[in-house]
Amino acid sequence: MVLDLFMAITFVLLMNPRVFNGLPFHEMAGLVIAVAILIHIGLNYRWVVNTTKKIFALELPRKTRFSFLLNILLLISMTTVIVSGILISRVVFPNLAIEGNHFVRGIHDLSANMTLALVGLHIGVHWQWIMSTCKKAFKSKEGKWRKGVIASAVLSLAVLAGGMYWISLNVKPSEGDFKPKFAEQNAPSFDEETTGTMPTPPDGEIRDGKFRKERGSNNPLLALLTYFVIWAAVIIPTYYLEKRMLKNKRAKEASV
């Protein structure tokens, strides 16, 4: 649950490349979430292997089969996001960046939006499990609330929110520390300075030796609120649709 929550928050922050110090955070956090995905798969390795073996078995529940296929789509879309992100990297892997990468950038944006929708669907399908796990975490077997656990969770969220707000106010973009390779290659020469002409940065990523300033808010809390609302628009209908399907299934079994 902790890993999943971490991945959800990180992924949402990655949806807005302006948060914190911009591109350096965006690319390095992308690598961190890639490692987190591998850990997530490793923790669920047995379920993956067992479900793969039984994927065509008639006794396998439809929900399990749907969840497995959904996870495959998530893996494909997330892999596409990571690989395309490396191919348009301006900070971590500038040597691997493809010139004239408008097509790759389009794939990166499209796969990121698809992943956002698939993650929302994934959470909606497993919402009952999430609530059950949270109930076990915050309630004892006797049904009493674990005040210490609740206080720790609230304090952790408060520290996280306060820390992100402080960083958004005090951490400035550090483009100079992560100067892309093509920015150095396109540095003005003596002839360019005398003629007044400057080479055009690829994709308009960098202007005057700095990362392009995009419009919009760079507040991480606003980014979290925005994309969690989008997730809610996917999670809530998915949850109630699954609940109704389960109710109809039970009614059908009872009538038989």
Place of tokens 């961190």: 32
Give CA separation, 12 vs 110, 148, 221, in Å. 15, 28, 10
* Whole-angstrom Cα Rg for the chain: 23
3-state SS, residue 115: helix
Q: Give pTM, 2 decimals.
A: 0.72
Give residue 202's pLDDT band: very low, low, confident or very high (50, 70, 90). Answer: very low
Is residue 238 pLDDT above 50, yes or no? yes
Range of the structural domain that residue 50 is part of = 2-255
Greater pLDDT, 211 or 111: 111
**Cβ atoms of 245 and 133 closer than 8 Å:** no
Mean pLDDT computed over 43-55: 88
Place of tokens 């005057």: 208
**Domain total in the chain:** 1
Q: Which residues contact 33 (CB under 8 A, 6 or more apart)?
A: 7, 10, 11, 14
Helices 102-125 and 127-138, interaxial angle, to 10°? 60
**Cβ atoms of 198 and 87 closer than 8 Å:** no
Give residue 211's pLDDT band: very low, low, confident or very high (50, 70, 90). Answer: very low
